Structure 1
């Protein structure tokens, strides 16, 4: 099977199952999607629906039990763990809810380390530029414990796009932040998409954040359900226990 040259991410009939005490548990079933270069996609669904599992499969962090995934033109099924890691270092950025900064490193060192691991030089110059773009040029020598949650997430975003990735995966990027700070982080993410042409895949409970994406997919019973306009879709407003988050 060939993939479109404009597609940054393709998955076909992907499934993921695990063995549980009561037998096989099917978490994801027959997932298919196609994301174009520079496109934005939000994945929403109830807690435990498999959103983060799907993100891991799309990014090559997990291996599907069925189906096929292509990331930046490479078929992940054909790559071993080391090859997938090399692909992620070169082509992929990640932003997580809990920041995942190394506490013993400063903001500058956290960003530089990611660049050095990816073999990108000059790491310091690129890290300085990335931190300046997220407004943290005054926090270069501060450690995570000396920064607010919003500032830590800005460092994580700088680290994610410093290497100029083709695609950025974000798992609940505003989940640990207050509304105002979360809005600022969202503006940063969509600014990167706009200015750098980086494709963006978001997993989120925040329907306001999801509505900013060009496409929204809901996971229901392990399958994707297209929802082009989440703000107008009442069923989407009920995905988290009847509460809009």
Structure 2
């Protein structure tokens, strides 16, 4: 169905979402004198974490943070929040004082990226470009996305998740190898915790899509998906291993407590 659409539909979705997000944030940016402040964790965690990580990366102190509690594994502590997010790395050319002024543009860019990636997925299943664009805007501006502006780092997850599905479709339908491994690595590095839920969804998605004649499912197809998934996780080990060590080294999140009560979140 992609052949019946222009090659630029996903960029239209990106541009529309970027403009809509700009309109949404602009009044608050004007009110806050060029910055974007929200409430609670956004002000006391998200912005300070960006500043701390920004200073640490630019100074080369990327293994241990002496300013986190009494000292902490820097990668393990901040990989959940921002460290491997491409959006965070866009801030590095700017001085740390610019961070509060960059939050709104970065948020708008996250909404636009979510629209772009979801459009790439939706357009595979619809005839009209406008349908794919509208679907992508509904995804990008869903209630989950709007609410989680409060938790700034949640938006990266939604922005890059559709790439898992796009890459899986490309692997099974077009036999394009390598993309799924890269999509797995990207999503695992962006946020290891949400990646667990993404894996569950993709496994269910795989077996449901196997019922489609378009996929021509076979044991060989399953093996190549499994191989690329393992390869993707291996590529993400630079982020996953320090994060796992940080979690397992915390008595509140050890293996005996990881799946019980509030320890699941702390």
TM-score with structure 1 setting the length? 0.32
What TM-score results when the alignment is normalised by the length of structure 2? 0.30
Which one has more relative contact order, counting CA pairs under 8 Å at least 6 apart? 1
Task: Flag the structure with higher helix content.
Answer: 2
Higher strand share: 1
